[in-house]
Amino acid sequence: MSAKSRFESSMVFGAAAAGALTLYEATKRHAVFAAAAARQHEPPAVILAAGFAATAIVVTVATFLVTTILAARRGRRAQRRLAQPRQARASRYGGVR
């Protein structure tokens, strides 16, 4: 998997997570959200947009970092396997060919 495809899938995952969180905040926690908006003298749409953007960025970066680290570990394991000489196979009777 290339870095570009990892980043694209991370962006999709980040947008989905941010959308789900924003939807939850706007519907299920409406009373708490409205009180916070009134205290800050901000329109609710601005707070939702800022929350969506921040969540999307954080989740995207975290997902991209995790997938990149896992891909690097997989690559190192594959290189180690290729670098090691093949072990001699044992014959049926316990001897080495």
Total count of domains within the chain: 1
End-to-end CA distance of the chain: 39
Any domain includes 89: no
Distance, in Å, from the CA atom of 16 to the CA atom of 56, rounded to the nearest integer, reads 8
Instruction: Give me the amino acid identity at 73.
Output: R
Residue 90 bridge partners (DSSP)? 96
- The single residue listed with the structure tokens 């049926």 is 92
Q: Domain limits at 58?
A: 3-83
Any domain includes 54: yes
Over residues 53-80, the mean pLDDT reads 88
Q: Supply the pLDDT for residue 22.
A: 92
Instruction: Write down the pTM of the prediction.
Output: 0.71
pLDDT band at 36 (very low <50, low <70, confident <90, very high): confident
Any domain includes 90: no
Give 7-24 pLDDT, tens digit per residue.
999 999 999 999 999 999
